[in-house]
């Protein structure tokens, strides 16, 4: 019984090892994996703590937990933004500079992801110094996880910090993502235009080749029928083959196939940019409005929903 169980166990382990070996982590899957991780971190460490905070109304966790929660609340959004940035840069290099793939290694992909993590950590680090568990000014005996800006007089400290956060988490990634995907679309459209120009001469050459083969075949049949010894003349196998467009130019694709790829690229580009703007802009706009618009924090909209992440 033990031997059967051991054999079954070894068989299962071997199958798992073979399955893992068959699955090869490509560059795109690697970037998507870290994008999923960043989104999970955003849900677990940004949204869930805020929901718990809204339920209890006041933060009840002490100074260390206050700093840790505030750090993680920004770390997820930062990581998501910069993983999107390095993914866009990777696609830009793969499509616009395909020869660079020859020198591309897995270490470069890991380095790009590591840079995204390091930037996210550095940008989120000020949260641990700005926020602390302290008594709320004007409310004796009431403690909360509160921000303090001592370097500059109010409200300029908070305004500068919110502006810096807006630029680093939203506008810089947006500019890079927009530039890379727009340039990708330009390269695809330019490729389609060039292939359209070369398609007609290519088809003309194919038709000429087919006509030549047809005439050659007729001459060979005529020679065979008129032969005195009855021996047939062998056809040249290389000349009798049908020549397809891809055989003449193996790197050339069908114009219809390229059109589909072009449309798909444009759609993906529009979806990526629009989704990034739609998902990130509401919180950014509210924070900028609340800190730069005079009297914004005294409005009913702000006082009813005043739970800052930053």
Per-residue model confidence as pLDDT tens digits over 10-23: 454 545 444 444 55
The Cα 81–Cα 61 span in angstroms is 29
Averaged pLDDT score across all residues of the chain? 75
Q: How confident is the model at residue 200, as a pLDDT?
A: 56
Q: How confident is the model at residue 125, as a pLDDT?
A: 95
Counting the structural domains of the chain, the total is 2
Same domain, 107 and 176: no
Same domain, 118 and 5: yes
Compute CA 265 distance to the chain's CA centroid, rounded to the nearest angstrom: 13
Least confident of 89-103, 210-224, 279-293: 210-224
Q: What pLDDT, in 10s, does the model give residues 116-155?
A: 999 999 999 999 999 999 988 888 888 999 888 887 777 8
Q: How confident is the model at residue 233, as a pLDDT?
A: 40
Same domain, 1 and 113: yes
Same domain, 49 and 128: yes
Are 123 and 169 within 8 A, CB to CB? yes
Same domain, 89 and 198: no
Domain for residue 288, yes or no?
A: yes
Domain boundary among 87, 113, 148: 148
Are 240 and 213 within 8 A, CB to CB? yes
Domain for residue 233, yes or no?
A: no
Domain boundary among 102, 120, 148: 148
Domain for residue 232, yes or no?
A: no
Domain for residue 155, yes or no?
A: no
Same domain, 1 and 128: yes
Same domain, 210 and 295: yes
Length of the chain counted residue by residue: 310
Domain for residue 31, yes or no?
A: yes
Same domain, 187 and 271: yes
Are 59 and 66 within 8 A, CB to CB? yes
Domain boundary among 148, 177, 202: 148
Are 307 and 54 within 8 A, CB to CB? yes
> What's the predicted TM-score (pTM) here?
0.71
The Cα 288–Cα 300 span in angstroms is 17
Domain for residue 236, yes or no?
A: no
Q: How confident is the model at residue 99, as a pLDDT?
A: 74
Domain for residue 210, yes or no?
A: yes
Least confident of 72-86, 112-126, 134-148, 221-235: 221-235
Confidence of residue 48 (pLDDT cuts 50, 70, 90): very high
pLDDT-above-70 percentage for the chain: 65
Beta strands (DSSP E) in the chain are 131-135, 143-147
Domain for residue 230, yes or no?
A: no
Residue range(s) defining the domain that contains residue 10 = 1-148
The Cα 285–Cα 305 span in angstroms is 14
Q: How confident is the model at residue 279, as a pLDDT?
A: 86
Least confident of 86-90, 212-216, 244-248, 291-295: 244-248
Same domain, 76 and 18: yes
CA angle 272, 278, 282 (to 5 degrees): 150
Q: Average pLDDT in the 165-185 region? A: 92
Residue 275: which residues within 8 A CB-CB, separation 6 or more? Answer: none
Same domain, 172 and 115: no
Confidence of residue 294 (pLDDT cuts 50, 70, 90): confident
Q: Quick check: helix, strand or coil at residue 66?
A: helix
Same domain, 90 and 192: no
Same domain, 87 and 205: no
Q: Average pLDDT in the 248-262 region? A: 48
Question: Which one is predicted more confidently, 215 or 55?
Answer: 55
Q: How confident is the model at residue 234, as a pLDDT?
A: 42
CATH code of the domain in which 123 resides:
1.20.1070.10
């Amino acid at each position: 019984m033990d031997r059967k169980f051991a054999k079954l166990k070894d068989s299962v382990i071997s199958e798992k090892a073979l399955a893992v070996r068959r699955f090869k982590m490509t560059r795109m899957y690697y970037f998507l994996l870290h994008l999923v991780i960043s989104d999970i971190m955003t849900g677990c460490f940004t949204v869930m703590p805020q929901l718990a905070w809204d339920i209890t109304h006041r933060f009840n966790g002490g100074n260390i937990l206050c700093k840790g929660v505030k750090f993680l609340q920004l770390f997820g959004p930062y990581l998501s933004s910069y993983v999107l940035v390095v993914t866009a840069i990777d696609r830009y290099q793969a499509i616009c500079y395909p020869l660079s793939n020859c020198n591309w290694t897995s270490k470069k992909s890991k380095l790009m992801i590591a840079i995204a993590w390091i930037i996210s950590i550095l940008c989120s680090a000020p949260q641990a110094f700005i926020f602390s568990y302290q008594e709320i000014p004007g409310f004796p005996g009431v403690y909360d996880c509160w921000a303090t800006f001592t370097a500059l007089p109010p409200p300029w400290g908070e305004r500068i910090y919110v502006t810096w956060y807006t630029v680093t988490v939203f506008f810089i990634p947006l500019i890079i993502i927009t530039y890379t995907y727009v340039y990708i679309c330009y390269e695809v459209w330019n490729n389609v235009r060039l292939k359209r120009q070369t398609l007609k001469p290519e088809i003309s050459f194919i038709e000429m080749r087919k006509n030549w083969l047809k005439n050659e075949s007729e001459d060979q049949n005529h020679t065979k029928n008129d032969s005195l010894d009855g021996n047939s003349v062998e056809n040249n196998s290389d000349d009798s083959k049908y020549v397809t467009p891809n055989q003449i130019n193996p790197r050339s694709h069908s114009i219809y196939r390229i059109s589909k790829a072009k449309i798909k690229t444009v759609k993906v580009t529009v979806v990526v940019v629009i989704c990034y703007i739609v998902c990130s802009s509401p919180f950014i706009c509210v924070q900028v409005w609340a800190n730069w618009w005079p009297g914004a924090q005294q409005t009913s909209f702000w006082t009813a929903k005043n739970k800052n992440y930053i």
